[in-house]
Amino acid sequence: MASNLIKPHGADELNILLLEGAAREAELKRAESLPKVMLTSREVGDLIMLGIGGFTPLGGFMGEADWKGVCQDMKMTDGTFWPIPITLSADKAVADGIAIGSDVALINAEDNDVMGTMTVTEKYVINKEFECQLVFTTTEGEHPGVKMVMDQKAVNLGGPVKVLSESIFPTQFKGLYQRPVESRKMFAEKGWKNIAALQLRNPMHRSHEYLAKIALEVGDGLYIHQLIGELKPGDIPADVRVKCIETLVNNYFIADRVIQGGYPLDMRYAGPREALLHAVFRQNFGCTHLIVGRDHAGVGEYYGPFDAQEIFYKLWDGALELKPLPIDWTFWCYKCNGMASMKTCPHTTKGDRLFLSGTMLRNLLSENKIDEIPAEFSRPEVLKHLVEYYAGLDEKVEVKVHGYATGEGKK
Residues carrying an active site annotation: 201-202
Instruction: Check residue 410 and report its DSSP letter.
Output: -
Q: For residues 200 and 408, give the distance between their C-alpha atoms in angstroms, rounded to a whole number.
A: 23
Q: How far is CA 84 from CA 34, 153, 313, in A?
A: 29, 18, 17
Count CB-CB contacts under 10 A for residue 134. 16
- CA–CA distances in Å: residue 19 to residues 51, 57, 161, 178: 8, 17, 10, 16
SS3 194: coil
Residue 52: which region, alpha, beta or left (left: phi > 0; alpha: psi -120 to 50)? alpha
Burial of 241 (0-12, 13-18, 19+ CB in 10 A): buried
Question: How far is 224 from 231, CA to CA, in rounded Å?
Answer: 18
